[in-house]
Structure 1
Amino acid sequence: MASRYWVVSLPAQNSASSLWNRLQEQISKHSFDTPLYRFNIPNLRVGTLDSLLSLSDDLLKSNNFVEGVSHKIRRQIEELERVSGVESSALTVDGVPVDSYLTRFVWDEAKYPTMSPLKEIVDSIHGQVAKIEDDLKVRVAEYNNVRSQLNAINRKQSGSLAVRDLSGLVKPEDIIISEHLVTLLAIVPKYSQKDWLSSYETLTNYVVPRSSKKLFEDNEYALYTVTLFNRVADNFRTSAREKGFQIRDFEYSSEAQESRKQELEKLVQDQENLRGSLLQWCYTSYGEVIFVSLNLLSS
């Protein structure tokens, strides 16, 4: 269960230390084992009342924006860990668990000089988180693009025979291509296989008798070869279509198969690299957003 914290701001009329001591006493009297932490806020350039009132709206918008970006990154981390099968890890800020970092927060004077006007500090924080959000969009888009390409290839390899890539199902010895002969690939509905076997030799003239061979079968279709004279191939396609058989265009090429194999292997490797890189970036950026959100809260 995630921890929940309340941030309470009290006016220090006399001494901040005495107020802190009184607050500890009151909390201990009215609660059970409730930890209390002092959120150290530096002396910032407050400016005029008008500037503070003007800044209050900006602070609310910036706080909601930063919180939204932190949620986006956290959800992205959860999705990447789930897809990768990685055990969910505790998110950190500078290598420290978020809970621990929150209770020991110290303002970073180097990044946000306390002598700078409050509006300048808030604008700097907002700009930093906006850049992180833009980087997230670019990195996620790049990762999703590779995923989409892989999914498209997988659909071609796992879909029905009417649409899938046939290169992995056809061997060189299944295809005859010569000056006069050509081998076509027919997609036959499973319930029509008897009809195909009894009719393919007569769909046009010059079909090689008993040349049809079944190469593969899925839940809907069967893949058959048929060899015939090249000059009647178009007539055969037309007659086959009229009987409900689909002739798939296919040209066997060992070079093309090797190229497709290398492309697939590269996409798989690219996806793994991008996923790991994006996950590490999200871990780091989540910590950065939590860090700047605490600085924003202190403002």
Structure 2
Amino acid sequence: MATRYWAVSLPVAQGSSASALWNRLQESISKNAFDTPLYRFNIPNLRVGTLDLLLALSDDLLKSNNFIEGVSHKIRRQIEDLERVSGVMSSSLTVDGVPVDSYLTRFVWDEAKYPTMSPLREIVDGIHVQIAKIEDDLKVRIAEYSNVRSQLNAINRKQAGSLAVRDLSNLVKPQDIITSEHLTTLLAVVPKYSQKDWLSSYEGLTSYVVPRSSKKLHEDNEYALYTVTLFNRDADNFRTKARERNFQIRDFEYNPETQETRKQELEKLTQDQETLKSSLLQWCYTSYGEVLCLCVCARALSIKVFSSWMHFCAVRVFTESILRYGLPPSFLSVVLSPSVKSEKKVRSILEGLCDNLNSTYWKIEEDGGGMGGFAGDADSHPYVSFTINLV
């Protein structure tokens, strides 16, 4: 599947026809750039309006295009991120059962959704408003998902960190803790290389430590977790003495209700994250087609929403063609997908098929600082041209 296309319109010379120009273009491409797929881009005669309106619309088309493309990239990146996290394998992508590139190359204007008698400004603004709503919805959905994911990540970091910082609740059992009127159990985090030192010295750190009360509960790559039982009144003094020996006493209070609450919170956040992730991914699949029908990161999209961007591109070609070639509309619009090595050859073919007067005028305007190329394109040509990237 080709991933990059040129949308091009060529002026039809007086006394000729679009069909005749199409035949000449097909013949030239097949002889000189046979590896370049070529298709008609069927654009109906739209409502032109006044020259001032067309000029104003031309200026806005570039800004609207940049906005729509920016939103589309956001959604595409979101789809890729969510699929990677979810382990989803991308399947064949279609639009109403048709491959995405085929939908582009067989484009048909939707008269029911975009009546050709509607002002061009109305069509463009309608698409822009639609995409702006999608962007707002995207921000809300991402914020909801990110908030839950951040909470869950914070909990998981506590669970996965070293014993010096991690949550100890899932490592300590009720029988490990002694709590009475006079006795208490502390949890000591001991560097792995200092375990012998701990076992030989903890009983003598203060005067009221219960002999042989220390038991190892857990060990990671850096530390070991030990219990030690002593008199309540000696706890603060023991913490101080332990710190002096590079033993960390972790604050911990075993509470079954708190443990259960934390467990339920973790389960709920995990479930909420999966629900929001699935919902966001499904929304992106659907909305991506509405934002950018010329990309292939949404599957099983509705043709109604997918066509929005295609119609926007058609309006761009039509508007710039009228401004370039004048009235009445007389131009041939096509899409082609040249390889990198064939680009110069295809450009030469296209330029050679332009009306001689138009080409001469164009070069004069270009050399004299005239209008230049199609709005938003870096290259200048004697015909309307811009690039469409499917991915």
TM-score (norm 2): 0.71
| Larger mean Cα displacement after TM superposition, 5-14 or 95-104 | 5-14
In 2, the alpha carbon distance for the partners of 1:181 and 1:31 equals 90
In 1, the alpha carbon distance for the partners of 2:59 and 2:251 equals 64
Match of 1:53 among 32, 52, 55: 55
Instruction: State the 1:33 CA deviation.
Output: 5.5
Are 1:92 and 1:283, in contact at CA under 8 Å, matched by a contact in 2? no
Question: 3-state SS of the aligned residue for 1:226?
Answer: strand
Which consecutive unaligned segments of at least 5 residues does structure 1 have? none
Residue of structure 2 in register with 1:273 after alignment: 275
Are 1:187 and 1:245, in contact at CA under 8 Å, matched by a contact in 2? yes
Where does 1:76-87 land on structure 2 (aligned, <5 Å)? 76-87=78-89
Match of 1:172 among 170, 174, 184: 174
Are 2:206 and 2:237, in contact at CA under 8 Å, matched by a contact in 1? yes
Where does 1:83-94 land on structure 2 (aligned, <5 Å)? 83-94=85-96
Match of 2:77 among 75, 78, 99: 75
Residue of structure 1 in register with 2:6 after alignment: 6
Change (3 A) 1:94 1:129: farther
Instruction: State the 1:4 CA deviation.
Output: 2.3
In 1, the alpha carbon distance for the partners of 2:171 and 2:104 equals 58
Where does 1:35-54 land on structure 2 (aligned, <5 Å)? 35-54=37-56
What CA deviation, in whole Å up to 9, does each residue of 1:219-242 have, x standing for no partner? Answer: 211111011111221222222222
Are 2:178 and 2:184, in contact at CA under 8 Å, matched by a contact in 1? yes
What CA deviation, in whole Å up to 9, does each residue of 1:145-193 have, x standing for no partner? Answer: 2222222112111111010010111111100111211111111122222
Residue 10 of structure 2 aligns to which amino acid in structure 1?
L
Question: 3-state SS of the aligned residue for 1:6?
Answer: strand
Instruction: State the 1:58 CA deviation.
Output: 0.6
In 1, the alpha carbon distance for the partners of 2:94 and 2:235 equals 66
Residue 136 of structure 1 aligns to which amino acid in structure 2?
L
Are 1:39 and 1:103, in contact at CA under 8 Å, matched by a contact in 2? yes
Change (3 A) 1:250 1:134: same
Alignment: residue pair count: 299
What CA deviation, in whole Å up to 9, does each residue of 1:239-282 have, x standing for no partner? Answer: 22222211111111222222222222222222222222211111
Residue 296 of structure 1 aligns to which amino acid in structure 2?
F
In 1, the alpha carbon distance for the partners of 2:183 and 2:166 equals 25
Instruction: State the 1:34 CA deviation.
Output: 4.0
Residue 115 of structure 2 aligns to which amino acid in structure 1?
P
Kindly indicate whether structure 1 or structure 2 has the higher relative contact order, using CA contacts under 8 Å at least 6 residues apart.
Answer: 2
Question: 3-state SS of the aligned residue for 1:58?
Answer: helix
Question: 3-state SS of the aligned residue for 2:83?
Answer: helix
In 2, the alpha carbon distance for the partners of 1:29 and 1:48 equals 41
Question: 3-state SS of the aligned residue for 1:184?
Answer: strand
| Larger mean Cα displacement after TM superposition, 35-44 or 80-89 | 35-44
Residue of structure 2 in register with 1:295 after alignment: 311
Residue of structure 2 in register with 1:202 after alignment: 204
In 2, the alpha carbon distance for the partners of 1:93 and 1:125 equals 19
Residue of structure 1 in register with 2:341 after alignment: none
Are 1:40 and 1:106, in contact at CA under 8 Å, matched by a contact in 2? yes
In 2, the alpha carbon distance for the partners of 1:52 and 1:242 equals 80
In 2, the alpha carbon distance for the partners of 1:97 and 1:69 equals 22
Match of 2:189 among 176, 187, 190: 187
In 2, the alpha carbon distance for the partners of 1:111 and 1:258 equals 55
In 1, the alpha carbon distance for the partners of 2:39 and 2:141 equals 37
What is the percent sequence identity of the aligned residues?
83
1:102 matches 2:104: yes
| Larger mean Cα displacement after TM superposition, 156-165 or 133-142 | 133-142
1:235 matches 2:237: yes
In 2, the alpha carbon distance for the partners of 1:126 and 1:284 equals 17
1:113 matches 2:129: no
Where does 1:248-259 land on structure 2 (aligned, <5 Å)? 248-259=250-261
1:138 matches 2:140: yes
What CA deviation, in whole Å up to 9, does each residue of 1:23-72 have, x standing for no partner? Answer: 33333333326443222212222111122112111101111221222222
Change (3 A) 1:95 1:74: farther
In 1, the alpha carbon distance for the partners of 2:129 and 2:310 equals 15
In 2, the alpha carbon distance for the partners of 1:134 and 1:2 equals 32
In 2, the alpha carbon distance for the partners of 1:42 and 1:288 equals 21
Where do 4+ consecutive residues of structure 1 move more than 4 Å? none
Which consecutive unaligned segments of at least 5 residues does structure 2 have? 294-306, 316-391
In 1, the alpha carbon distance for the partners of 2:268 and 2:97 equals 33
Residue of structure 2 in register with 1:216 after alignment: 218
Residue 171 of structure 1 aligns to which amino acid in structure 2?
K
In 1, the alpha carbon distance for the partners of 2:69 and 2:51 equals 26
Residue 22 of structure 2 aligns to which amino acid in structure 1?
W
Question: 3-state SS of the aligned residue for 2:4?
Answer: coil
